[in-house]
Structure 1
Amino acid sequence: MPHISRTSRSTAVSALVATALAAGLLAASGPATAADGQVRVHDIQGTTRLSPLAGREVADVPGIVTGVRTYGSKGFWIQDPKADGDRATSEGVFVYTGAAPTVRAGDAVRVSGTVTEYVPGGANSGNQSLTQLTKPTVTVESSGNPLPAPVTINAKTVPSRYAPAGDPAQGGSVNGLPLKPRSYALDLYESLEGMNVRVGTSRVVGATDPHAELWVTVKPHENTTRRGGARYGSYESQNTGRLQIQQLTPLSERPFPTADVGDVLTGSTEGPLDFNQYGGYTLTARSLGEVVRKGLERERTRPQRARELAVATYNVENLDPGDPQAKFDALAGAVVTNLASPDIVALEEIQDNSGAKNDGTVAADQTLRKFTDAIVAAGGPRYAWRSVDPENNKDGGEPGGNIRQVFLFNPERVSFTDRGAGGATTPTEVVRQGGRAALTHSPGRLDPANAAWTNSRKPLAGEFTFRGRTVFVVANHFASKGGDESLTSHHQPPSRPSEVQRVKQAEAVNSFVRKIRAAEKNAAVVVAGDINDFEFSPATKALEAGGALRAGITSLPRAERYSYVFQGNSQVLDQILLSPGVGRFSYDSVHVNAEFADQNSDHDPQVVRFRP
């Protein structure tokens, strides 16, 4: 089912209305009437994001039904064919019925009910609200009427600026600001909320996902990636042309098309413009164009040369022994074929032997044996592994899964220096031995008692030797972005509270790298993993602070800097950073998952090659 069916409707409507009333953004409650005695849809929508009639009852609001949803958030959209001529006021609105509606597209209706502001995800999510009519009484006056002509959304109509700055007097909210649809993309979309809209032939920038939705861009030249996506390169480049596409027809009646990034949704896609918590403004297609496949292929990196050390990072997405063998085989095939069997692989999201079963198990040897066996079956080397089992349920992730980082290494090419592996709470330290840096525990955990790692994965550090040269590798999986507000938040700019923890984590890793370099100035240090943050983020800058590290992905052309696709934005989450002692290197973000509907993980692996 599409995203809108994933959660029940929020109880935060009254809280939002109460706040808005207190701020003077809404009128007092009571029956609503217009100057001529007839309340119309544009009166309900108003010229800001919040209805001036929120909390009030309206009677006999006229409109033509433009779409009916019989699953998830059940209801229908109406649109007034008699527009008021004001670009800021939408002529469409959603009528929430809670049960399968009995009306059909083309019905001329009059609706009585209560105007509410529904916040998908709840008031604490920071999401904008959806203006709607609830507890409706519906009178059908006629059927088979022509639908209001759709408003076309394209490169010419969508402004290049994303959103206005929020009002400081309202905590940075844009809710009370007058809509300027000619100036800001979010204002344009809000001014069309609930209306019949269309997009023409558009490029897919977010592949079809398990919830039957995809993302297109109506701006074909906006921050394009080499493979057809829309790159997210800064907090100011939100890619205004992105729009989520769902369909109104239940999946049981019509399967949703499969599309990868770079494919094209051809023809006309038309339907009401909705707003939900899983993507913001969404075209709920009453009629859906056809997907033309462009044959995007999974990338293959080149093999490392004899004197090159290849280090990779790969988030294998909650891998455990209970996963289908097909997942193990596909991930193993990617390591062998697409990553060319790196010498060292830092894995993230390896789960314990019982997977998500919360039974106290923390060992992951069965998971790793099954994975390394699959790599051998795929024609790869017999990797050895090193890791440190976490404390039960102390590292975040799926409850009971006990995800952790793991080193795989090819013993035919590289050796691991074992130095009294520490436990989950034992920190590894940096010492100087024979004029060079060394770890007290290898493998060992980096500062595991630091509050920065609360409910998060502790970095795994290890010493490797390649052609007589020591290389230190730190495998990471920083805290997730959970709790951050979406790009379509009513706060502009959106709040990113999760960033605070990642910055602290980055500072801890940076401090550790500095200790290694203090003991051995030209030490080769590789910091790899799922950093869960962008190459331009404060967390990455904290990792790089003082010249301790350099983000390898910034060596790539901008159009190739991404490892993850979220809501149609191709962005960086997975990274490999290198100390100055590494010297020259060759970096590759190997696109095998994020752009595809058929994914073995939602992350693309990264690989770096250099001569220590």
Structure 2
Amino acid sequence: MRSTKQQRALWAALAGLMAASSLQAADLSITQFRVRGPAGGNDEFVEVQNSGTAPLDVSGYKLNASNNAGTTGTRFTFPAGVTIAPGCYLLLANTASSGYSGSVAFDQKYSTGVTDDGGLALLDASGTVIDQVGLSAGSAYKLGTPLASLGSTNADQGYGRKTSAAGFPQSTGDNSADWVKVAPTTPHNSASTCVAQGPSLSIADASVSLRNADDVPMPFTVTLSQAGAADVTVHAATADDTATVAAGDYDAVNTDLTIPAGQTTATVTVNVHGAKAAGADKAFKVNLTNASGGVALAKPTAVGAILNEIPVAAEIWQITGQGQVSPLLGKRVATTGNIVTAVGPAGFTIQTPDSRADNDPLTSNGIYVFTSTAPTVKAGDQVNVEATVDNYFNLPELKNATITTTLHGARLPTAVVFNDKVPSNDPNALSCGTTNYQCFVGMRVTINNGMITTGNLRFSNEPFAEVYITANGQRSLRKPGVRYTVPVPDGVNLPNWSGNPEVLKMNTADFGAVPVNTPYNAGTTFKAEGVISYAFGAYTFIPSKITITKANPLPRPVDNKPFYAVRVGAFNMERFCDSDFNTTFTCSGGSTEPTPDEVKLKTQRLSAYVGSVLKLPDILSVEEVKSLAVLQGLAKQLGDDYPAQYEAFLQPGHDPSGINVGFLVRTDRVRVVDVRQLDADATWDDGGTQSFLHDHPPLLLTADVPSIIGRMRINVISVHPKARQNVDKTGTTADRDRQKRFLQAQSLAKQVQALQTDRKNLLTPIMVVGDFNSYQFSDGFTDVVGLVSGKYDDSQNLLKLGKNIVKPALWNAVDSVPAQDRYSFLFTENFGNIQGQAPRSVPTHQVLDHALLNTVARGLFLQMEYGRGNLDAPVQTLDDAAKETGVKKALGSSDHDGFVVDLLTLPSILL
């Protein structure tokens, strides 16, 4: 649904005319393209040419793309000041990973690819499509018969546009007639030789609107590119298309036109007959032939679109239909006696009264009326609307509306109740058939038990924009099973995890329910009523009323440590780096390392988190720390900020970016006995090369901690196995990563078993803590946590272990945490073209940070808690926190939330 804060381009589409309309009506053309090359799917380019005789300012023009389901998006917007000379080219290229590999230098770049069976379009600065080509029937962009997809073979092949005898790009309105396969491709750029453009004739498209039976003249303008010293003549003749002379749609024209010497335009007018009733839009053509004096025909064919705008009487559910595109798209409709349900700054929603609602659960009884300015209607008004049906980013709506209010204070239609069953949480039984929300778009919805699952995102100039929500009062948690859309591997006895199809966005301010830029923390619960909309590939709930039932303040520290307890924690500090680039890759993960001032600020924020959110753990495992020096800096900062004395321990590993695991230990309470790496020199066969197995070798800390009587010995292992970014994919990289994770976990399990079976440790608590980069259950490939804990189940894993190594098994303290609080990382998952969206991105809360306890440690266990300060806050709040003081400075210190485990301290008989 449109808002005044989100200005977007308007579409002009005519139902049933896609094969005949939108012939090239401008001088800018796509002349060659490739959507896959030797380097893969991102090895793309798009060549455009100015076929006019004057320089063309393309500021604000757009390159759009569609997939084969008709979902569109902008790939590139031409920056201000870009001008293309007559006959000259510009080359656009995809520079994402494994992107454009051609030898011809590109002029402009984009970073989101085009699907192999999608389509491309050029839009002018007003948003009008001026050229388009499709690779499938399902593409939103195509003319006539689309081209055949060239498939998924990585080869230097694409399509080039045919040219006329005069060298002009050919544009007949049929992609299959205008394009030819080229292999290898031969793109041109701004440095290429321009094509000389001599005098030429073009005829512009035209349209008329029929509102009654009166005849209407339709003038077509014929333009000569440059005036000459002699008259220029050309023959103009009409040709039937969906409109025919025999049916009485228009009068045929067959005549010669003359453009006098020194002039550049002439007009040919076709008489179009009126209509007595609503009907389909139609079109015919006007063709130019036989130009005198050798003048070329640059655009010899024009489309005459006859738009039947006699309104069709229709109920809302007849307008919306069952899909994302209205069956009456482009038609003028009259829908009467409907109720205004919500009012926004640039439009309002109407819904069919309950007594006239249809019985089809797959159609919506609501629709948005776009007014562009503040509407004068109010919720509860009964209105008659005459308007044109539009498709606005896959949102059916009414525009150019005439609105008549017939009643005030009407009863609002019954709202759809969103709860724990609606929308569906089963992707195989979605609420709206092929989607989970389309049949509710524009309709009243109430949510009685809503939860905000992410803090506000940012959008353009809105620092506090949309949030993600559920209507079942639960977090968007990662649940057991193989990732949705990923086939369950052979030999794995697991279902697919659903991907949480019940999660959707909420834009709180669009209908004025709350002030613009109101921040919300994740975990906040609410009640609301409003309507469902759809924009930018995401279904969105827009409330007209909202009540916060329970706010979730941040930061949310853990409880105070019990008096007779030792507190052990773990915290991934998200690339806590120094300023020196002295590793193979940057520690920061970016192009440069942080400045000294940025390191100082990071140290201060981490100190606030460790001290005020985790409440000064006695032993803290730290991950993603570059050097002992930066960790010592944090230990000093903690001592300056809090009444605690910390010492840093870190031993370098083998990570090419230099990140390591280490410990911060409160030496005012804990006596460190030993710190050593485990299996640090282990290697594995990495594609024929012996490489170190552990990038971050596990680090074992042995220490004595205060107990009720004397001191107690404890062993804590800090871990950070390989990340799982490729685990759910296919191919050699995914196979490699899964194998390495498996071998790392196997190595660690052997070390844990050796430690716990050592006679001197039989009565000693042992804890394995850190960022495991693994869930508390199997992902179907390698259960790292299960392998290390001794609970690996071969039937649930692609990689088989055989017998468990760790006996007795370790206990995961995560199991003690309340179910809705089991998360330490927030990851937005892209689920591809599902539910009518492409792609559908959903934020999910995952447990990656675990605490595994041996039998002795479990017997002393008191509680495990995650400290909240990084995952639940709005994006803007995280940035703003850098300037805060005290505990609020902790917000945004990392992309993980750390945890603490409290153990009851008892005397050790081993001391």
Q: Percentage identity across aligned positions?
A: 17
Unpaired runs of at least 5, structure 2: 10-61, 71-116, 120-134, 145-241, 243-278, 282-310, 378-382, 459-463, 482-496, 578-595, 705-711, 788-803, 828-841, 878-890
Alpha-carbon offset, residue 561 of structure 1: 3.1
> Alpha carbons of 1:514 and 1:293: their partners in 2 closer, same or farther (altered >3 Å)?
closer
- Deviations 1:335-394 (CA, angstroms, capped at 9, x unpaired): 2344343233222344x6xxxxxxxxxx68347514641454222222313142766xx5
Matches within 5 A, 1:131-530: 131=395, 138-142=399-403, 149=412, 152-154=415-417, 158-159=421-422, 161-165=424-428, 180-181=431-432, 187-193=435-441, 195-206=442-453, 208-211=455-458, 212=464, 213-220=466-473, 233-234=479-480, 243-249=504-510, 254-261=515-522, 263-266=524-527, 268-274=528-534, 276=536, 280-289=538-547, 293=551, 298-303=556-561, 310-319=567-576, 322-323=597-598, 328-329=603-604, 331-350=606-625, 365-366=629-630, 369-370=633-634, 372-388=636-652, 394=656, 404-412=660-668, 413-415=670-672, 417=674, 430=679, 458-467=695-704, 471=715, 473-476=717-720, 478-479=722-723, 503-504=738-739, 506-517=741-752, 519-520=754-755, 522=757, 526-530=767-771
Q: 2: CA distance between counterparts of 1:451 and 1:609? A: 45
Deviation digits for residues 259-291 of structure 1 (CA, Å, limit 9, x no counterpart)? 44554435x4424422555xx432133555457
* CA contact 2:453–2:470 (8 Å) conserved in 1: no
Change (3 A) 1:112 1:372: farther
| CA 519–370 in structure 1, closer or farther in 2 if over 3 Å, else same | closer
Maintained 8 Å contact 1:311/1:345: yes
Provide the aligned length of Structure 1 versus Structure 2.
Answer: 508
Distance 1:191 1:208 in 2: 27
Displacement after TM superposition at 1:475 (Å): 2.4
Residue of 863, 868, 878 corresponding to 1:592: 868
Query: Aligned pair in 2 of structure 1 residues 531, 288: CA closer, same or farther (>3 Å)?
Result: same
**TM-aligned CA distance change 1:323 to 1:364, over 3 Å:** farther
Question: Contact conserved, 2:772 with 2:784, CA < 8 A, in 1?
Answer: no
Q: Once structures 1 and 2 are overlaid, which stretch shifts more, 504-513 or 38-47? A: 38-47
- Judge conservation of contact 1:232–1:569 (CA < 8 Å) in 2: yes
Structure 1 CA distance for aligned equivalents of residues 453 and 543 of structure 2: 16
Q: d(CA) in 2 for partners of 1:199 and 1:102?
A: 27
CA distance in 2: counterparts of 1:474 and 1:6, whole angstroms: 50
Question: Quick one: distance in 1 between partners of 2:674 and 2:8?
Answer: 49
1:92 Cα offset (Å): 4.9
SS of aligned partner of 1:554:
helix
SS of alignment partner, residue 407 of structure 1: strand
Distance 1:257 1:102, change over 3 A: closer
Tell me how far apart the structure 2 counterparts of residues 481 and 272 of structure 1 sit (CA, whole Å): 33
1:265-323 deviations in Å (ceiling 9; x for gaps)? 35x4424422555xx432133555457647688243453777x7643111334556545
Equivalence for 1:121: none
For residues 209-258 of structure 1, the C-alpha deviation after alignment (integer angstroms, 9 at most, x for no partner) is 353334554335xxx6xxxx57655455777765532134499x933333
Amino acid at match of 1:475: V
**Distance apart, 1:464 and its partner CA:** 1.8
- Verify the 8 A CA contact 1:562 1:571 in the aligned structure 2: yes
Shift of 1:38: 6.7
Contact in 1 for aligned 2:68/2:136 (Cα 8 Å): no
Structure 1 CA distance for aligned equivalents of residues 63 and 859 of structure 2: 53
Counterparts in 2 of 1:91 and 1:319: CA distance versus 1, 3 Å: farther
Using CA pairs below 8 Å that are at least 6 residues apart, which structure has the higher relative contact order? 1
Using the alignment, how far apart are the partners of 2:368 and 2:660 within structure 1? Answer: 45
Q: Distance in 1 between matches of 2:674 and 2:330?
A: 74
TM-score of the superposed pair, with normalisation by structure 1: 0.62
Verify the 8 A CA contact 2:628 2:649 in the aligned structure 1.
no
For the Cα contact (< 8 Å) 1:473–1:527, is it kept in 2? yes
Residues 451 and 524 in structure 2, CA contact (< 8 A), matched pair in contact too: yes
SS at match of 2:68: helix
CA contact (8 A) 2:521 2:551 kept: yes
Distance in 2 between residues matched to 1:458 and 1:5, nearest whole Å: 45
Match of 2:94 in 1: none
Could you tell me how far apart the structure 1 residues matched to 2:899 and 2:771 are?
Answer: 10
The answer on whether the counterparts of 1:531 and 1:574 sit within 8 Å (CA) in structure 2 is yes
> Could you say which residue in structure 1 is the equivalent of 2:332?
60
Q: Distance in 1 between matches of 2:373 and 2:867?
A: 46
One-letter identity of the residue aligned with 2:619: I
CA distance in 1, matches of 2:570, 2:479: 21
Q: Please state which structure has a larger fraction of its residues in strand.
A: 2
Aligned ranges for residues 77-96 of structure 1 at < 5 Å?
81=352, 84-92=358-366
Question: For residues 562 and 684 of structure 2, what CA distance do their matches in structure 1 show?
Answer: 33
Distance 1:219 1:290, change over 3 A: closer
Report how far residue 406 of structure 1 moved.
Answer: 3.8
Q: What is the root-mean-square deviation of aligned Cα atoms in Å?
A: 5.6
Q: Evaluate the alpha carbon distance shift between residue 243 and residue 373 of structure 1 in structure 2; reply closer, same or farther with a 3 A threshold.
A: same
- Structure 2: distance between partners of 1:42 and 1:500: 49
Q: TM-score, normalised by structure 2?
A: 0.45
Report if aligned partners of 2:325, 2:396 keep a CA contact under 8 Å in 1: no
Q: 1:217 to 1:52 in 2, by over 3 A?
A: closer
- Does the Cα contact within 8 Å between 2:672 and 2:701 map onto a contact in 1? yes
Aligned-partner Cα distance in 2 for 1:303–1:108: 66
Counterpart contact for 2:420–2:471, Cα < 8 Å:
no
Name the CA shift for 1:12/1:60 in 2 (closer, same or farther; >3 Å): same
2:69 aligned partner: 16
Post-superposition offset of 1:115: 5.0
Quickly say closer, same or farther: Cα 1:162–1:583, change in 2 above 3 A.
closer
Could you tell me how far apart the structure 1 residues matched to 2:733 and 2:532 are?
Answer: 34
Deviations 1:45-84 (A, max 9, x none): 5435x5486xx963225679988999xxxx9776564754
Task: Give 3-state SS (helix, strand or coil) of 1:15's partner.
Answer: coil
**2:783 pairs with 530, 536, 541, which one?**
541
Distance between the aligned counterparts of 2:640 and 2:688, measured in 1?
39
Q: Distance in 2 between matches of 1:578 and 1:540?
A: 21
In structure 2, the CA distance between the partners of 1:562 and 1:284, relative to structure 1 (3 Å rule), is same
Cα deviation for residue 555 of structure 1 reads: 3.9
- Is the alpha carbon distance of 1:366 and 1:325 closer, same or farther for their aligned partners in structure 2, counting shifts above 3 Å? closer
Structure showing the higher helix proportion among its residues: 1
Distance change in 2, residues 1:52/1:298 (3 Å): closer
Letter in 2 for 1:465: T
After superposition, the Cα gap between the structure-2 partners of 1:131 and 1:246, relative to the gap in structure 1 and judged at 3 Å, is closer
Match of 2:519, SS state, is: coil
